[in-house]
Amino acid sequence: MLENKEETRMRLTLLSPGEMNESQRQTYDESIAGKRGKPPAPMMAWLNSPEMARHATRLGEVLRFDTIFPAKLSEIAILVTARHWTAHYEWYAHKRLALAGGMDPKIIDAIRDRRTPEFDDPKARMIYDVAKSLHEGRGVEKGLYDEAVKLLGERGVVEVIGLCGYYTMVSMTLNTFEFGLPEGEEPELS
């Protein structure tokens, strides 16, 4: 998909590596050499601002692979964000990552349906509560904050905020430029 210029219903034509200027190509190559092994979809839009793309992609790699949380926990914040923004492509991608990371499908279904999931893990519940509060309440009230620091630590709270903030930017990018789902896939969010 990303190797060829794509003319779809997207609002943006994605550049092939041969069409990129030196700065764009360096960022693209760096993303391939990173832990993902391929460029994340929104980076292909961000390449219109190569420095932004470089820094955003690096931040995304840290948040995806180097937080204190295992995938099944960090994906909670990402899925809450995708659901909040009704970001179909992000939901598609991260639902699969959440399942691969061991998340219970019932939790994913509840988030999709805007219901509060039942969690066995108090950390999972706290990540969900903080993410929902960030998106719906535009912050975290003192009682929830104190509980979150006690359970997740200050670093954990910072990283949940980072996950929600970064994936908000991802959602906005994917939604604004109308990134489509892979052929044969249908949106799961309404």
Question: Which residues lie across from 65 on neighbouring strands?
Answer: none
Q: Where are the beta strands (DSSP E) in the chain?
A: none
Closest CA to 78 of 53, 112, 55, 52: 112
pLDDT at 2 over 50: no
The structural domains of the chain, ordered by start, are 22-65 (no CATH), 69-177 (1.20.1290.10)
Percentage with pLDDT > 70 across the chain: 95
Banded model confidence at residue 9, pLDDT cuts 50, 70, 90: low
Express each pLDDT in 22-35 by its tens digit.
Answer: 999 998 888 888 78
Prediction pTM value: 0.90
Q: Distances from the Cα of 137 to the Cαs of 11, 132, 144, 153, 188, in angstroms?
A: 31, 8, 12, 21, 25
Express each pLDDT in 117-138 by its tens digit.
Answer: 999 999 999 999 999 999 999 9
Q: Is residue 125 packed enough to be buried (19+ CB in 10 Å), middle (13-18) or exposed (0-12)? A: middle
